Amino acid sequence: MNQLPIFWLKGFGVLIALIGFLAVPSWLTLPYFLHLFILALIWTILAQGQNLIQGFVGYVSIAQAGFMGVGAYFSTLVSVKLGWPVWCSIALTPLFTGLISVLVGYPSLRVKGHYFAIVTLAYNMVIFTILMTWKSLTGGEAGIPNVPRPVAIDWFGIAINFEGRSNPNYYFLVLGLAALATTLCWMILHSRVGRTLLAIRQNEPLAESVGIDVWRYKLFAFVLSASFAGLAGALYAHYIGFLNPDPFGVDQSLNAILAVILGGSGTLAGPVVGSFAVVLLPEYLRIADSYRLITYGFILVVATIFLPRGLVPMLGAAVRLALRRLGVVRHG
Amino acid sequence: MLEIVQQILNGLAIGAVYTLIALGLTVVFGILGIAHFAHGSVAMLGGYLTFAVMERWGLPFFVSMALAMIAGALAGLLIERLAYRPVRDAPHINAFIIALGLTMMVEGFNLLAFGADQVVIQTPYRAVFNVGGIAVAELRVIVIVTALSLIGITALLIRKTKTGKAIRAVAQNRNAAILMGVNVERISQVVFGISSALGVAAGALIGALLAIAPGVGESLAVKGFAVLILGGLGSVPGAVLGGVILGVSEAMAAGFISSAYKDVIAFLVMIGVLLLRPEGLLGKR
């Protein structure tokens, strides 16, 4: 009985957040803010993927931006060079990125802990080098201009187009997909698979000793996390309309880790909060690009020392404390 | 054939520097269980400092390098005290995330203090000897000798001195060492100082041999860990072997395939070893 108010409160919070997100295009009058929100939602998909492997399984992967790049370039090249419809190429991207991540995950999951992180980082560097160097395919640093946008959908005679930046329709598209990604994570977290992943995080040798094929679960989480990153990459490329390797370097993978840690590793709302923080913080603080790296690094260190569980669990604890004080819950 | 020998020789110099990086990483990992990823960026900071001291005060290369090593050791002490010690009892993943944050901070600092242009440290060792048709650059020989002497000195410190004995004791069994009266906090400081000084030396040598630029630090750290993965953790002969393999395969890739893909080839070698022998070439199963 005592847990019931908390459950309703959580549901209520999700509902409020959803309504708030749906109303965003009508109260954000400046197109630039809508642009930032679209980017933050794309980041949410990326961070939910990062959270799957980092938060659930406890393996820090530093390849998330690399997989984002794989997805972005796959979808762009399939639509530009093969002439396939953009909707089709976006839909295929998670599958392709997942396939690539199996090749990557197979050898790297043989090592544990820190070494896994280092190996994935090496992969990110390899992906980045290939994107930079294979000029005939990727255009190198000069990039690919005029990445096509998804074609307009005809909805009962109303054409819904996705042209241009700060487009509200594109906002609803990424909002829907970010919500889908979050829901998928919720379903995994509350399933047998999710409990197994958490067991691996808490004590991998113990999980192995009770007969869990640990390796298969780790690969599952890794591949799914890469698929999310690929989808985020495709959405990013078709939104921005221009593609070069710059956003897919190691620094960006570190930012994805920061988003998860800051928001709350292993929680569902954490990556959402973290993504918005990482995208909006430099705008809010008005920090120059040259100070961004040092500021983010500092936040990462300080957050890990003083706020190791992240913003969302801290907020949750505060709410629980307040409820207990008010006598709504006795043992929250 | 001659060209293969030439490339092997080129690879040995860079491999020696990788071994130096890996040695710094492995002592920290052995004592504190931290994958000190910021090590590569600290090395780059050392390279920049060496360069700055040479430019500003006109001191010779090795004197500047020694001064930078002292500064690096102090930076290492600070990093240990301020960043790693607060999370000593937290899960290891936290220390690793701190290492990533430190990497961003040091890289950001390097960018602010020294700019984004690449820097090459000019040394007076420009002679090239011809040994049976193979060009042997004086600089490469000096780099190899310097790296090997530093590795040797460190090995002696750990093998022969009382502090070294304490370091080995903590690596073997931390709790037992504490019970025997070893001051683990002091040992952690000493280890970080040594490790960072070695890293700084490696950065200075890289700056003289190739160039230092933003982003090189991260790739250097990855290569240091690659050497450890290749050679097997905690094995100094393994680190030397791993460094040689990584350096030579990189030089071969640069010489015969394309210098743009040399990192890719180096990482593929590492991944190949992981597939066949996950415990490393000289590691214990």
- Tell me the per-residue pLDDT of B163-194, one tens digit each, with 9 for 90 and over: 999 988 888 888 899 899 899 899 999 999 99
Q: What is the ipTM of this complex?
A: 0.87
Mean pLDDT of chain A: 88
Q: What is the mean pLDDT of residues A16-40?
A: 86
Residue B56: other Cβ atoms inside 10 A: 9
Residues from chain B contacting residue A296 (CB–CB below 8 Å): 101, 104
Give the best residue of A51, A301, A302 to mutate against chain B (max B CB count within 10 A): A301
3-state helix/strand/coil string of chain B? CHHHHHHHHHHHHHHHHHHHHHHHHHHHHHHHCCCCCCHHHHHHHHHHHHHHHHHHHCCCHHHHHHHHHHHHHHHHHHHHHHHHHHHCCCCHHHHHHHHHHHHHHHHHHHHHHHCCCCECCCCCCCCEEEECCEEEEHHHHHHHHHHHHHHHHHHHHHHHCHHHHHHHHHHHCHHHHHHCCCCHHHHHHHHHHHHHHHHHHHHHHHHHHCCECCCHHHHHHHHHHHHHHHHCCCCHHHHHHHHHHHHHHHHHHHHHCCHHHHHHHHHHHHHHHHHHCCCCCCCCC
A42 in Cβ contact with A174 (< 8 Å): yes
Rounded percentage of chain B residues whose pLDDT exceeds 70:
99
* pLDDT tens, residue by residue, A69-107: 999 999 999 998 898 998 989 999 999 999 999 988 888
Q: How confident is the model at residue B258 (pLDDT cuts 50, 70, 90)?
A: confident
C-alpha distance across the termini of chain A, in Å: 11
Tokens linked to B32? 């504190």
User: Would the CB atoms of A300 and B100 count as touching at under 8 Å?
Assistant: yes
Q: Quick one: which of A1, A58, A21, A14 has its CA closest to A312?
A: A14
Q: How confident is the model at residue A12 (pLDDT cuts 50, 70, 90)?
A: confident
Residue A219: other Cβ atoms inside 10 A: 17
Q: What is the mean pLDDT of residues B213-221?
A: 87
Q: What is the mean pLDDT of residues B100-117?
A: 91
Residue A1 has pLDDT above 50, yes or no: no
* pLDDT tens, residue by residue, A33-58: 889 999 999 999 999 999 999 999 98
pLDDT computed for residue B70 by the predictor: 96
pLDDT computed for residue B253 by the predictor: 86
Q: What is the mean pLDDT of residues A304-309?
A: 87
Q: How confident is the model at residue A168 (pLDDT cuts 50, 70, 90)?
A: confident
Q: What is the mean pLDDT of residues B95-113?
A: 91
Q: Quick one: which of A61, A40, A83, A42 has its CA closest to A231?
A: A42
Q: What is the mean pLDDT of residues A120-132?
A: 90
DSSP H or E stretch at residue A159: strand A158-160
DSSP labels, A231-245: HHHHHHHHHHS-B-S
Residue A331 has pLDDT above 70, yes or no: no
Residue B278 has pLDDT above 80, yes or no: no
Give the best residue of B97, B114, B249, B258 to mutate against chain A (max A CB count within 10 A): B97
User: Would the CB atoms of B104 and A257 count as touching at under 8 Å?
Assistant: no
Of A185-194, A207-216, A323-332, B110-119, the one with minimum mean pLDDT is A323-332
Between the CA of residue B47 and those of A293, B13, B101, B142, B249, what are the distances in Å?
20, 17, 20, 16, 24
Nearest to B222 among A118, A130, A294 (CB): A118
